[in-house]
Amino acid sequence: MLFEPYKIKNTLLKNRIAMAPMTRNQSPGGIPTNDVVSYYKRRAEAEVGLIITEGVEVSHKASSAYPNVPRLDSKKARDGWKRVVGGIKEHDGAVIAQLWHCGGFRKLGMAPNPEVPGHTASGLVRPGKRVAHAMSSDDIKETIDAFASDAKYCEEIGFDGVEIHGAHGYLIDNFFWNGTNERKDLYGGSIEKRSQLAANIVKAIRSNVSDNFIVGLRFSQWKQQDYEAKLATSSEELLKVIKQPVDAGLDYLHSSMRRFWESEFKGSDENLAFWTKKLTGLPTISVGSVGLDSDFIDMSAPASPRNIDKAISDISNKKYDMVAVGRALLADHEWVIKMREGRIKDIIPYTKEALYKLY
């Protein structure tokens, strides 16, 4: 089933393999270059079923924390994205833009608004470290509006959908996490309230785009600030974390793990994506070291190709619906074809050099 077509809403995918969102820092001024166009087009041509773009900073004054990340808030940037989407569509590919707010990873002095500090739920960037701006309700409203209007831009550009980046300790995850969210208003106090920012973003996007436009959410237990952190310690808690965003109109969930074969909760062997699908019934993507023999922990560590028998059998057993592949697809744009043909020996292994080139 992994290599067979799959449909999310009205969008037909050639197979159930997604390219994981990966920041490349190669879009000066927020504008995707011709090299970025070719990079994505190459993977659509090589039969990647769904391309999820690198994180695209939403059009909010505090969204940025890294250099040369693409944006949507200028015509030049949107025209760049039109060329990216055009290249992918030439090969009948599907493409979703990941919308990203970096939250507490931003520091004073960073472009494009050096005077603007990082924004978080309660000023915390990790438990005990209060160096960011605690967001007011106006800040939250501005942020929600930015996600909604950028999603509309994405629909006009021709993307098949958007993925809200709610993972890895960035803004939305900072609200999800009890270690960093001490708010006492609508957006904090209980698991359900900590999920309200994500839910309100989904709601605002949904009301700004047409019904066929896909809206997904990526979330994770792990955070860059703490690999062992957990939003939920049981399936009952997990349901509380994701129920409101799901009810607000999500079309899929993307459960981000570092090692997709690991069990999520005590007493069961199943991973986070399995539980996400079981609890919500929504199409679910599983990610984390698929097709590689080394974990997603140190990006500069080399990783060799390995078989994907477990992903194939999990998908056949309907444990989740798709896998996303990150580093392996950075190293070898023909990874899908080579895997399908069983040519594992031909796959180019991942090394840190893949991080520096855009091919």
Ligand X SMILES: Cc1cc2nc3c(=O)[nH]c(=O)nc-3n(C[C@H](O)[C@H](O)[C@H](O)COP(=O)(O)O)c2cc1C
Active-site positions? 170
Q: Does 299 bind ligand X (CB under 6 A)?
A: yes
Contacts of 211 (CB under 8 A, 6+ apart): none
Tokens of 319: 């444990």
Q: Does 70 bind ligand X (CB under 6 A)?
A: no
Identify residues 105-164 at the interface with ligand X (CB under 6 A): none
| Cβ-based nearer residue to ligand X, 81 or 296 | 296
Residue type, 341: E
* Residue 134, strand partner residues: 120
Q: How far apart are CA 254 and CA 196, in angstroms?
A: 18
Q: Does 20 bind ligand X (CB under 6 A)?
A: yes
Q: Does 201 bind ligand X (CB under 6 A)?
A: no
Q: How far apart are CA 300 and CA 302, in angstroms?
A: 6
Peptide bond into 112 cis (omega under 30): yes
| Cβ-based nearer residue to ligand X, 123 or 311 | 311
| Cβ-based nearer residue to ligand X, 134 or 355 | 355
Q: Residue from 31, 217, 290, 308 that binds ligand X (CB under 6 A)?
A: 290
| Cβ-based nearer residue to ligand X, 196 or 256 | 256
Identify residues 206-225 at the interface with ligand X (CB under 6 A): 218
CB of 241 to ligand X, least distance (A): 17
| Cβ-based nearer residue to ligand X, 173 or 251 | 173
Q: Residue from 70, 327, 336, 347 that binds ligand X (CB under 6 A)?
A: 327
Q: Residue from 8, 21, 63, 72 that binds ligand X (CB under 6 A)?
A: 21
Q: Does 358 bind ligand X (CB under 6 A)?
A: no
142-145 CB contacts, 8 Å cutoff, 24+ apart: 142/60, 142/61, 143/58, 143/60, 143/101, 143/119, 143/171, 143/197, 143/201, 144/197, 144/200, 144/201, 144/204, 145/204
Q: Does 19 bind ligand X (CB under 6 A)?
A: no
Please give the size of the binding site for ligand X, defined by CB under 6 A. Answer: 23
The span of 77-85, 284-292, 312-320, 334-342 binding ligand X (CB under 6 A) equals 284-292
The span of 17-25, 209-217, 233-241, 244-252 binding ligand X (CB under 6 A) equals 17-25
CB of 257 to ligand X, least distance (A): 8
Q: How far apart are CA 205 and CA 164, in angstroms?
A: 10
For the beta carbon of residue 22, count every other beta carbon within 10 angstroms: 18
Q: Which chain residues interact with ligand X by CB under 6 A? A: 20-23, 54-55, 98, 165, 167, 218, 256, 287-290, 292, 296, 299, 325-328, 355
